[in-house]
Structure 1
Amino acid sequence: MKYMTIPGVDKPISRLFMGTGDLRKIEEPQRLMLEAYIEAGGNAFDTAHQYRGREQVLGQWLAEMRLRDKVVIMTKGAHHDDGSPGPRVNPEAIRKDLAESLERLGVDYVDMYALHRDDPSVSVGPIMEELNEHLKAGKIRAIGASNWTCERIRQGNEYAADRGLTGFSFSSPNLSLAKPKGERWPGTVSADEAACDWHKETQLPLLAWSAQAGGFFSGSFSPDKREDEEMVRVYYSDDNWERYRRAVKLAEEKGVTAIQIALAYVLYQPFPTCAIIGPRSPEEFDSSIQAMNLALTTEEVEWLDLKKEEMAR
């Protein structure tokens, strides 16, 4: 396993985060996969107040395995569709969601806390003040933003710096080799070229969700297969099919699969990155480990992303 650090978190953080969006219960397949993750050195879990029941399942398993002190838990709150309708990025929603997340997880703190959505009409000041209250209370070790633009994160961090507060120490947008044509879900943000340039400049860690573009590089999709309406709407484009062709070509040269190349692309950015993965079996997790250990050159990354027409051989 490879690791990174995030200010405020007192443990190394595995660069493969285990997502819990599909973790509805712990039966033998899920148990084997989670145990394989821990045995491989994985120690970081991504969950959210909005993922119905997932926090409880994760918390119960960690307690059963006596792993709490050895792992990093990231949960998220203030999602628009969680509880009351409409935007909920405000101090009251943050306070409520965090308290309930801690209770569901059965812990007295989370290592990382991210706002699950943004509401650009709300000033960053009260948001940063509220998050810092929970940092001071020891309920959170590091704060971040999921699906916030770089400009809003910058505003939040400038507000914090001007007042001696702690700013966002990580961001969690979508980042993948396949570039979405629009929002995959309402209110989500994907890291475009300008965002990646900003992360390169600031070196703010990026935790990529949907790092493998929903399986776009798995070989299960093609331009003429259009049954999956969401995939067609979000990822079917000429540029993405060219990225797919290049991933297949490079995979053949390296003796791996295209989806492993796509995951390696996310991990070989010029700024700190983690990938949030959702394997359903130890075999799928093994594939992600192999992808993490692939070596890509800067030239290969740029060629995959259509920034170069040819690679020197």
Structure 2
Amino acid sequence: MTQATLPSIRIAGVRQPVSKLIQGSMMLSEEKMTESAELLDAYAASGGNAIDTAHVYGASGAKALGRWMSERGNRDELVLIGKGAHPDEHGPRMTLEAMTRDMNESLDRLQTDYVDIYMLHRDDPAKTVGYILESLNALLEAKQCRAIGASNWSVERLAEANEYAEAHGLIGFSCNSPNLSLAKPNEPRWAGCVSAGESEIAWHERSQLPLLSWSSQAGGFFTGRFAPDRLDDAEAVRVYYSEANWERLRRARQLADRKGCDANQIALAYVLHQRYPTCAIIGPNNPQELRSSLQGLDVGLTAQEAEWLDLRLPAEFVP
């Protein structure tokens, strides 16, 4: 693997910088090992070092990643993100037993003995933050992870948890992983998911807790695949079709024309140009799609441009 060259951020507890573009793993498959390895090789060659996984994504992708790391001998050069304790058909699974079981199964699939960051995939407000943090700190003490994070938690619960950790001598959450994108969802894409709106963004600006965004490019909303009269993708219609988002797309295209890029790269740049540390989890299916996202790293945005894209400045104010 080449020496990291992508822009990066620091996350407490992780010994190396974390690439601002994080490779997703849902498209990986042990049954398509050649294609999976080609994509991972391309990401590594670009200088990327962070890969997002989750127990609920299934065994095949994690096993493909584990096999690739074993064959390349590059585990120590990577930042692996694992997620666990996702609810099942019976409801929440926010117990130490479930966290441990998901962790052990994930480590077995990945052919490693630790993940760098372990996140809880959902919250369970019925469980106290004390119980949750004490459980996660047990995994830290067992050296099965180096840092802990939350995915799809409210910022109020995050703040409560980190205040508890500080008061009780525990390690708190080092990062948060909600959805953050230029296109704002009308409703959660999946049940229990959290998207960062104005209040969440304001909290991150105050706390400076790193945010790792999933669906950072809004499921391809800015690629040109969608239009107000194109209704064949029911999920996209349900989640992203709104007059405000069509205006965001129009502005992204306008700014892209000026900057010599495309609207999808503008949308990615929006996520990466916040006033607090951010990373974008991306889901390219092949090296060609990866290269398009990498080009988004070269797109600079001013604070005024980001506000204009997000409709916080009037249309006639073109930054």
Q: TM-score, normalised by structure 1?
A: 0.97
Say if 2:36 and 2:64, in contact at 8 Å, map to a contact too.
no
For residues 9-56 of structure 1, give each alpha carbon's deviation from its aligned partner in whole angstroms, at most 9, with x where no partner exists: 001111110000121234443322211110110000000010112222
Alignment of 1:61 with 2:68, yes or no, is yes
Mapped to 1, the partners of 2:240 and 2:267 lie a distance apart of: 14
Residue 120 of structure 1 is matched in structure 2 by 125
Say if 1:300 and 1:311, in contact at 8 Å, map to a contact too.
no
Residue 38 of structure 1 is matched in structure 2 by 44
Mapped to 2, the partners of 1:29 and 1:218 lie a distance apart of: 23
SS at structure 2 position matched to 1:138 = coil
The 1:95–1:31 alpha-carbon spacing in structure 2 relative to 1, beyond 3 Å, is closer
Q: One-letter code of the match for 1:165?
A: L
Say if 2:308 and 2:318, in contact at 8 Å, map to a contact too.
no
Mapped to 2, the partners of 1:30 and 1:102 lie a distance apart of: 19
Residue 285 of structure 2 is matched in structure 1 by 280
Query: How far does residue 85 in structure 1 lie from its aligned partner after superposition?
Result: 2.2
Mapped to 1, the partners of 2:133 and 2:253 lie a distance apart of: 44
Mapped to 2, the partners of 1:239 and 1:307 lie a distance apart of: 11
Residue 102 of structure 1 is matched in structure 2 by 107
Say if 1:111 and 1:142, in contact at 8 Å, map to a contact too.
yes
Mapped to 2, the partners of 1:312 and 1:96 lie a distance apart of: 52
Say if 1:299 and 1:311, in contact at 8 Å, map to a contact too.
no
Residue 227 of structure 1 is matched in structure 2 by 232
Q: How many residues align?
A: 311
Residue 12 of structure 2 is matched in structure 1 by 7
1:261 alignment partner, one of 256, 260, 266? 266
Say if 2:162 and 2:172, in contact at 8 Å, map to a contact too.
yes
Give the % identical residues.
Answer: 54
Alignment of 1:311 with 2:314, yes or no, is no
1:29 alignment partner, one of 11, 25, 35? 35
Q: TM-score, normalised by structure 2?
A: 0.95
Say if 2:24 and 2:283, in contact at 8 Å, map to a contact too.
yes
SS at structure 2 position matched to 1:253 = helix
2:148 alignment partner, one of 135, 143, 153? 143
SS at structure 2 position matched to 1:160 = helix
Mapped to 2, the partners of 1:58 and 1:116 lie a distance apart of: 20
Mapped to 1, the partners of 2:100 and 2:164 lie a distance apart of: 20
For residues 250-288 of structure 1, give each alpha carbon's deviation from its aligned partner in whole angstroms, at most 9, with x where no partner exists: 011111110010001000011100000011121111111
Mapped to 1, the partners of 2:47 and 2:168 lie a distance apart of: 38
Consecutive unaligned residues in structure 2, runs of 5 or more: 1-5
Alignment of 1:135-284 (within 5 A): 135-284=140-289
Mapped to 1, the partners of 2:80 and 2:221 lie a distance apart of: 28
Which is worse superposed, 95-104 or 194-203? Answer: 95-104
Query: How far does residue 158 in structure 1 lie from its aligned partner after superposition?
Result: 1.0
For residues 47-87 of structure 1, give each alpha carbon's deviation from its aligned partner in whole angstroms, at most 9, with x where no partner exists: 00101122222111111111101000001000012xx6211
Which is worse superposed, 190-199 or 95-104? Answer: 95-104
For residues 158-201 of structure 1, give each alpha carbon's deviation from its aligned partner in whole angstroms, at most 9, with x where no partner exists: 11111010000000000000000111001111011100000000
For residues 82-124 of structure 1, give each alpha carbon's deviation from its aligned partner in whole angstroms, at most 9, with x where no partner exists: xx62111122211211121112211111100000011112111
Say if 2:81 and 2:115, in contact at 8 Å, map to a contact too.
yes
Say if 2:150 and 2:176, in contact at 8 Å, map to a contact too.
yes
Mapped to 1, the partners of 2:122 and 2:227 lie a distance apart of: 32
Q: One-letter code of the match for 1:14?
A: S
Q: One-letter code of the match for 2:186?
A: K
Say if 1:248 and 1:258, in contact at 8 Å, map to a contact too.
yes
Mapped to 1, the partners of 2:291 and 2:311 lie a distance apart of: 28
Mapped to 2, the partners of 1:74 and 1:42 lie a distance apart of: 14
Query: How far does residue 221 in structure 1 lie from its aligned partner after superposition?
Result: 0.2
Q: One-letter code of the match for 1:299?
A: Q
SS at structure 1 position matched to 2:279 = strand
